[in-house]
Amino acid sequence: MGASCQTWMGRWLRARKVLANLLLTRIRSHLLTWKHQRPQQFGFTPGKSTTDRILVLRVLVERRLIFAESLEVLVMALEALHEEAKPLGLKVFWLKTKVQAWELTVFFRKAQVRRMTAGFYSKVLSGGAAGAASSSATSYIPGLAPLASVQGNNNWNYVTQPQQHSLGNFVEKRATLPLARVVGGGSTMGGMVYTRGDHQDYDHWEALGNPGWDYNSILYYFRKAEDYMGSHLGETESYHGRGGPLAVSPDPSPGPLAAAFLRAGEELGYNTVDLNGPHHIGFARPHYNIRNGVRSSTAGAYLQPALPWSNLHILHSATVTKILFTGKKAVGVLFEYEGKTYQVTAEREVVVSAGAVATPQLLLLSGVGPEEQLQDHKINVVANLTGVGQNLQDHVGVYGLVWILPGTPAPFGPFFNTTAMHQYTRHRKGPFSAPPGECGTARVLVMDQGTHQSDVGIFLSPVSFHADRGLLTPYTYGMDRQTYKQYYGTVLGQAGFTLLVSLLRPKSRGTITLQSTDPKHHPLIDPQFLSHQDDIQTLVKGIQFAMKLGKTEALKTLGAQFHDEPVPGCIQKAEEAEAEAEEEYWRCFVQHMASSFWHPVGTCKMGPSNDPLAVVDNNLRVHGVENLRVVDASVMPTIVSGGTAAATVMIAEKAADAIKTDWGIDTSKD
């Protein structure tokens, strides 16, 4: 064997070993969780140190099929588990493990195919953030058999239509929308920041004709889903839950930059608050969906514990192409799997949880939507609902406000060093135990509109927008590469931080429409960013607040220097501008540099039947048809003033109760 071949083989083996070790880490974590939190369910008998090894294998192999792990990697991890299992009271024999893992893999693959044509009481379309939660929450009911289908390939790779009022420095004036295409949806790929939004967001939902969606009513579901991992919160403790499936943790390793951010807020007259408590204007350390240094997604929190249940079926890499109707009644779906088309029936109802882009696309392809659009595509009209695909909203903001920290080590220094790696691999501590994207957050009111609701979010990122020297950042966000180099060229690779400024309540509204009747073709996404002039003005005021924040003594003490270069397409330098010219410069900056924060919602609006844009009622049942429900972020009538992940899980929890209530199942003991 030649030297080059040996080198390649060595690298390949090392890569496989790394993957096996990563999977082993996850297995350890899950086994500990199962043993301590759900002993009887996973075969652990309290007071005894033995368990059913076949049951453990079954769960792990099913998990591999659902989460697309390599069988080879699984077997390597199980071999290593031989010694690791002893403290847990497990007996794992490597040879039998290999044989049984292979046999179980073949068995479950065949079983999945057999299940495809079976009837189900409930069909959940997508195992995203909401689909995972609602599937798990209803699957424990005896006799109920939900089926969740999940697409693969990690990312939808959506892009918007060219924008008229924004994205001046982005390729073709389009924004990227890398929405998750994995089990757990956005909770598996997102930034893990947990924010619910303002109480008044939900009170407004109820005021729009949706009884039961005011904050006092839905707080129960936020608390039910949450397992807060921090210490007692004092006055805000009653706003949080403990013991729920989804972990919520305070920042496990806040650094000096995060502390300086809070002090900067105090200089400007803002208190440090719990933004998931009663106060929604102020500065805060973020909460994360993290359990002991590991992401807590709805896939792990809801679906994994439910895998042994015989009445929950998950099909990975299946693409739902159409909802089937008999008259106005949803009776099943068509889906593609491994190159073949299958039909599955739903005895009670179909639940769509495909997200704010794919859900309206699926409804339209199935004949539910604006009659004129359906007829243009020669689709048989089942229900003329003009609101399907309308009311698209997203958090829009500016990523590129950068401050340099001269004399500070390389921007990834706190992360890429042996000490940090040792801390994380051994103890799940240190910088790797929290996401690098945000270490401070603030909600402020910059426009005097007679309201006490915050309208701008300020997010502190300890990793500056230019830190990777342009290797990934411009591609991730869709920014023109030459523009990126021109604007950040003098500071590429230097240490610093970024202040991101986001609209919390955008007034602009966009649309999702069909490109064709082929489900594989992405729909046309036109968010119409900044089409409402108030959005531009609010962002300008938000940037001016961020600039004031950057000049506080707390941040100046760190040596922070604003990267004051004119953004391509705009002339004036911000620091040198007169007041009127400065505002005009920032307006130009916003229209060239603002983009999506990847939180699309609202395209299947919840509202009463007399609302021309309403698609679902307050129990999330689709108007004008029977046995069809939507459970995801698309039902939000208006976007919440925080990340949409927490609200989406709440929606799924509430929907699960609504489904059980409609079916005559008591929810009082849940």
Res 304 pLDDT > 80: no
599 is catalytic: yes
Quick one: which of 423, 370, 669, 396 has its CA closest to 508?
396
d(CA 424, CA 290): 13
Phi-psi region of 551 (alpha: psi -120 to 50; beta: other; left: phi over 0): alpha
The pLDDT value recorded for residue 142 is 43
Between 29 and 649, whose confidence is greater? 649
The pLDDT value recorded for residue 431 is 74
Between 591 and 469, whose confidence is greater? 591
Quick one: which of 144, 84, 137 has its CA closest to 120?
144
Res 50 pLDDT > 50: no
Between 490 and 121, whose confidence is greater? 490
Most confident residue range from 19-33, 98-112, 239-253, 364-378: 364-378
Instruction: Reduce the DSSP state of residue 349 to 3 states and report it.
Output: strand
What amino acid occupies position 436? P
The pLDDT value recorded for residue 251 is 85
Given the residues 287, 313, 592, 599, select the one marked as catalytic: 599
Res 413 pLDDT > 70: no
Are 398 and 539 within 8 A, CB to CB?
Answer: yes
d(CA 363, CA 198): 30
Q: Regarding beta strands 524-526 and 561-562, do their DSSP bridges make them parallel or antiparallel, or are they unpaired?
A: unpaired
Res 53 pLDDT > 50: no
pTM: 0.81
Res 206 pLDDT > 90: yes
Return phi, psi of residue 443, to 5°. -120, 125
**Mean pLDDT, residues 148-165:** 77
Between 382 and 117, whose confidence is greater? 382
Are 433 and 253 within 8 A, CB to CB?
Answer: yes
**Mean pLDDT, residues 15-40:** 48
Q: Which residue has the tokens 């270490």?
A: 439
d(CA 137, CA 152): 23
Question: Can you give the residue ranges of every domain in the chain?
Answer: 16-116
Res 68 pLDDT > 50: no
Q: What is the pLDDT of residues 121-146, one digit of tens each?
A: 454 554 455 555 555 455 444 444 45
Between 445 and 666, whose confidence is greater? 445
Cα of 452 vs its chain's centroid, Å: 28
Q: What is the pLDDT of residues 493-537, one digit of tens each?
A: 788 899 999 999 999 999 999 999 999 999 999 999 999 999 999
Please give the DSSP secondary-structure letter assigned to residue 228: E
Confidence band (pLDDT; 50, 70, 90) for 157? confident
